[in-house]
Amino acid sequence: MKFLEGIEENLRFMVLEVTRQVEGTLNCLEDPDPGLIAKIESRDDYIDNLKSVIENLCYSKIHGPSGAYKPAVDMARAVNIVSANLERVADHAVNIVMQVQYLSDPGFIKRYDYLAGFREVDKALGIIVKALLSQDVTLAFKICRAEFNLDAIFKDNFDRILVDLRKGESPENCITCHNIFRYLERMGDSILNIGEAIIFAAVGEKFKIHQYQALKDTLAQRGAEVPITKGEFQSIWGTHSGCRIGKLPDKPGSKSHGVLFKEGNATKIIQEKENIERWESILPGLPPRVQGFQSEGDSASMLLEYLGGCTLQQVVLTADAEIADNAMFLVEQTMALLWDKTRRQGTISAGYIRQLHARLEDVFRLHPEFDTPPRTMGDLELWSFAEMLEATAELERQLPAPFSVFIHGDCNINNIIYEHTDQRIHYIDLHRSKDTDYIQDVSVFLVSNFRLPIMDQNMRARPNQVIARFLDFSRDYARAHGDDTFDARLTLGLIRSFLTSTRFEFNREFAKDMFLRCTYLMGRILAHAGTPWQDFRLPERVLYY
Amino acid sequence: MSQKGKFSYESLQDSEILLTYLKALVQGFETGTMRFSVKDDEIELHPSGLIHFGVEAKAKRDRMKLTLKFAWREGEEDPRDRHDVLRVEAEKP
């Protein structure tokens, strides 16, 4: 492999040396020979040295000419992880050898099954080079299995040691044997990291083995093989939710564009599945189809139909004006239809400011300066951020929505798909859907346009147009349905959306701009208190950057 | 009189509300006392005497900027009241 030039040979040496080290350790357990112990100790220095050499080579690959080529960088990163963990395996070998001297009866260890553990380690070491060089996920998976087996072996022997201790066998020998098995078990942890690094090199994704297993099970349920080889698993987007999402190709001959795999917290995934089912009953084809679902303990995984087309964000940013207009027309038509279909009379409060509280900590962690103190300027009292927020929360009680609808729940323009050929809209990422004030979706939609990282004024014209027309559309809807506090509630929704958007915004100037818009809106709405809310007008300028 | 302290405030306002801030400053110049506080720390400024005053206006396409700057010194005594700090005395041989 070209981009492993200069590394491959060193890696082979290293695997060989670590294998010899582990073999030597086993020999030492069976026949503790001081000469052998000294040899093992000195070989450890050589292994440490090899690790440093490989580390240097990997870093120079990453920063060298091949550094721009992702597979080469992934491979260099993987090799570095593999070699760091090989070194740890070797360290544990030395740790075991060090324990041997504490056995008053060197034969005491023979009553336990240490051989099984060594066999597992040896087997895994034997396939590392092949798995890595051929980027073979099946072999990597075998390597990972060693950890599970070593855990089981540890548990077995641990129980037996406990029994011996209770029987009154020599505590010194029992504890020493326990330490030896513990180090063997820790070799397993390092071997697992090695297996996962090889999966990373093969699929270009950081994938924990339990996620891989979840994917395998979910696919198996669908009657498919695990198809992961290089390039078959594509990351679709980074998520903030802790779920892993990736795209897999569909079965050959299928018309669809593949499937999406989601794995993560069970409550979230199950919630999303239920929401998808409800959306499907409201407007068939709106959400992606669920093609597989698996839940085990705290985590669950789901295979979703991968919807073609592009996100509304891509449309806003790159499409021709005509197409963008058409997409927006479809979005508005679809939303009005969904709001009509799910509208229920009766007041409801979205609790925008309350929702904000849950995310405040994340905002302040990134931008501690937003937690402004109370100040005065002459006779003017300038409230602290906390005081403003509290007063706004108090005021929100006077502003329930007159009706509820089933909302998207995370209605940013990345979560709406526009399919040009079929002329339709899809909703994705639906774990937050619920019956509440439709303005929550409106404000999230508007701010997701605002926060697009475009600073050029000419380029900004597009999101500004989208904001203006979507605001008109939703105001018309409010008017047609007797919602006369629309502007006031939208202001509350925008306060929430502007502020929560800063928690992912590392551009300090832009984050500050959104924060100032949030506090400006609080100032405006607080100043209106005591006057009929029907008369409040959102200062619309705040929506245009 | 000497004191240390810093006050800063940044916000987004419309011109209607902005006037209340400007008026607070104007009042400070009129009365000769401006108080600023952050939590429990207070600084009091007394603009009087000579005040360095700067105005800077900038137009860059659609982004406009107006900067006002006032600077002065406080606590300087009337030189007439001042006794010399330096005294040269001859030592007797």
Task: Tell me the C-alpha distance between A478 and A471, whole Å.
Answer: 10
- A192-203 pLDDT per residue, tens: 999 989 888 877
Record: contact B25-A378, CB cut-off 8 A:
yes
Out of A380, A512, A542, name the one closest to residue B20 (CB): A380
Asked if the model's pLDDT at residue A185 lies above 80, the reply is: yes
Phi first, then psi, for residue A486 (nearest 5°) are -50, -50
- Please say whether the structural domain A2-202 has been given the CATH code 1.20.58.220: yes
Chain A: nearest CA to B2, how far in angstroms?
20
Nearest CA in chain B to A384: B39
Asked if the model's pLDDT at residue A490 lies above 90, the reply is: yes
Task: Tell me the C-alpha distance between A209 and A515, whole Å.
Answer: 40
Phi first, then psi, for residue A348 (nearest 5°) are -150, 145
User: A373: which chain B residues are within 8 Å (Cβ-Cβ)?
Assistant: 38-39
User: A379: which chain B residues are within 8 Å (Cβ-Cβ)?
Assistant: 24, 27
**Residues B10 and A363 sit within 8 Å (Cβ to Cβ):** no
Q: Which residue shows structure tokens 């440490």?
A: A48
Name the band, by pLDDT with cuts 50, 70 and 90, for residue A66: low
Nearest residue to B1 (alpha-carbon basis) of B42, B50, B45, B52: B45
Record: contact B28-A378, CB cut-off 8 A:
yes
B61: left (phi over 0), alpha (psi -120 to 50) or beta: left
Asked if the model's pLDDT at residue A240 lies above 50, the reply is: no
Report the pLDDT averaged over residues A45-69.
84
| Continuous segment of H or E residues that includes residue B34 | strand B34-38
Task: Tell me the C-alpha distance between A84 and A76, whole Å.
Answer: 12
Between A70 and A301, the more confident residue is A301
Q: Which alpha helices (H) appear in A307-418, and where do they start and end?
A: 312-318, 321-342, 352-366, 385-396
Determine, yes or no, domain membership for B29.
Answer: yes
Between A123 and A216, the more confident residue is A123
Q: How far is CA A405 from CA A286, A415, A444, A475, B79, in A?
A: 16, 18, 15, 16, 77
CATH topology of domain A310-543: Aminoglycoside 3'-phosphotransferase; Chain: A, domain 2 (3.90.1200)
Record: contact A527-B9, CB cut-off 8 A:
no
User: For chain A, which residues make up each domain, given as ranges?
Assistant: 2-202, 211-305, 310-543
Identify the top-confidence range among A127-136, A246-255, A320-329. Answer: A320-329
When divided into structural domains, chain B yields a total of 1
CB proximity list for A19: less than 8 A, separation 6 or greater: A122, A125, A126
Any A CB within 8 A of B3 CB = no
Any A CB within 8 A of B39 CB = yes
Determine, yes or no, domain membership for B36.
Answer: yes
Sign of CA dihedral A151, A155, A161, A162: positive
pTM of the model: 0.68
Asked if the model's pLDDT at residue A165 lies above 70, the reply is: yes
Phi first, then psi, for residue A237 (nearest 5°) are -160, 155
Percent of chain A at pLDDT exceeding 90:
63
User: What is the per-residue pLDDT for B62?
Assistant: 82
* Predicted complex ipTM: 0.82
| Superfamily per CATH, domain A211-305 | Phosphorylase Kinase; domain 1 (3.30.200.20)
Record: contact A520-B11, CB cut-off 8 A:
yes
Name the band, by pLDDT with cuts 50, 70 and 90, for residue A374: very high
User: What is the per-residue pLDDT for B79?
Assistant: 72
Name the band, by pLDDT with cuts 50, 70 and 90, for residue A227: very low
Quote the tokens at residue A33: 């020979």
- A317-362 pLDDT per residue, tens: 888 999 999 999 999 999 999 999 999 999 999 999 999 988 898 8
Chain B: nearest CA to A529, how far in angstroms?
15
CB proximity list for A93: less than 8 A, separation 6 or greater: A18, A21, A22, A24, A25, A40, A44, A187
Range of the domain at B40: 15-75
Name the band, by pLDDT with cuts 50, 70 and 90, for residue A226: low
Determine, yes or no, domain membership for B45.
Answer: yes
Quote the tokens at residue A133: 């060089």
CB proximity list for B30: less than 8 A, separation 6 or greater: none
Nearest CA in chain B to A517: B12
